[in-house]
Chains A and B, each alone.
Chain A
Amino acid sequence: MEAEAAKLIGAGLAMIGAIGAGAGIGIVTGGAVQAMSRNPDMTATIQTNMILGIAFAEAVAIYCLVVSLLILFVF
């Protein structure tokens, strides 16, 4: 196999990790929206915690993204 083709396949495979982050962000947001609809007064606090949770879940997808960008543009 040519090295270029292997690089492209590798970059695509690296992004598989985004599955988990997508599911995680969905769960976090779903829970936050339910909580906010039950108790609208707590919206500010819930939103803060939701954004933090999303940031942690998203970080994993971002690692995958950085790895695949490194494969594509550096090596």
Chain B
Amino acid sequence: MSETPKKRVWARWVVLAAIILGLYLFTGFFGIGLGIKPIMPHVYLPGEKLSETPLFGIAGFYPTNTLIGLILADIVVLLLAVGVSRGVAGGKQVLTGISGAVEGLIEMLYGITESTAGKWTKQIFPWFATITLLVLAANWSGLIPGNETIGLIHHYDGHGYDLKQVGPFTTIWDESKPGDEHHGEYAVIPFLRPVSTDLNFTFALAFVAVVMVQVFGFRSQGMGYLTKFWNTKTLFSKPIFGVIDFGVGILELVSEFSKILSFAFRLFGNMFAGAVLLFVIGSLVPVFAQSMFYLLEFFIGLIQAIVFGMLTMVFMAQATQGHGEHHDEAH
């Protein structure tokens, strides 16, 4: 603890220097500063291709920048696992550092699962924790400086920018004057983009989650799980309510499919909107304002990861509690 204050003082000056450098670069008032125009990056909805040749010769499987984001998130999760297993193998009573933080997170997730899932906790918890950790790593990879800014320059037909050589690097540069219609012809394809801004990833994860919900339903209730969707038990014994029960079963079937859509769009919409928000704020106020929104993105990334995992867990827990069983508990 005695070292922390020293480090903080040192970091304070770095932050101040960065702010002054930013002001110098981006403001042009009174002849001080370079007055560089901030650039609004191009917004692509699908992941951008880094090369035109498909990977492994599979048609349509291009190396996109979101694929690199996925590999990065996977590596982070694997490193966490290795780090924690080392920390545990070290034989300490109290885990410290990263493994301590992961222990806290896992314990919290386990507590939530236990209070909802009951006796199925051991089976459901791995899905909850895996999804949460992977989505968390994917969301927070969007906070790494340089992501979505460092990449390949390519020719762009629409509203692009000009090229400029700055030291050893080539960069895109906004040279348009106000009021003139001149546009450059280049844009950047970043090497790294958080994978949760790609609809393919969120849709695949949602599909896996909802399919596993059905698997848990069948495991706990066997074929009786199907009566949730095709409920003819009371169709003839109760005059009107039987028909209503049957209709509710059909609606349940529809809602399973809408779950996939809502999972996928929730994560994708939040993270993609966050990325666009950072672009827009950065192009409006180039200095300092973006830091606030990075903080917001930090929290949104955490909340969305927990929400995705928790909804999966709750649906799984609901699937394990049968219809009849549930009523018995309620009365």
Binding site for B on A (CB under 8 A): 44-45, 48, 51-52, 55, 58-59, 62-63, 65-66, 69-70, 72-74
Contacts and interface: CB of A to CB of B under 8 A. Distances in A.
B265 A51 contact: no
A59 B310 contact: no
A63 B269 contact: yes
B209 to A, nearest CB: 14
Contact of A48 (B45, B268, B303, B310): B310
B201 to A, nearest CB: 15
Main secondary structure of the interface of B (DSSP, over half): helix
Interface residues of B, number: 22
A55 B314 contact: no
A62 B45 contact: no
Given A48-B310, A51-B306, A52-B311, A66 B115 contact: no
B306 A62 contact: no
19 contacts: A45-B115, A48-B116, A48-B310, A51-B303, A51-B306, A52-B310, A52-B311, A55-B266, A58-B266, A62-B265, A62-B273, A65-B269, A66-B265, A66-B268, A69-B45, A69-B273, A69-B276, A70-B45, A73-B44
Contacts, number: 46
Interface string B253-274: 0000000001001101110110
Given A48-B115, A48-B116, A66-B265, 6 more contacts: A55-B310, A59-B262, A59-B265, A63-B265, A73-B44, A73-B45
B307 A62 contact: no
Interface in B54-92: none
B43 interface: yes
Nearest to A58: B266
B102 interface: no
A65 B273 contact: yes
A5 to B, nearest CB: 16
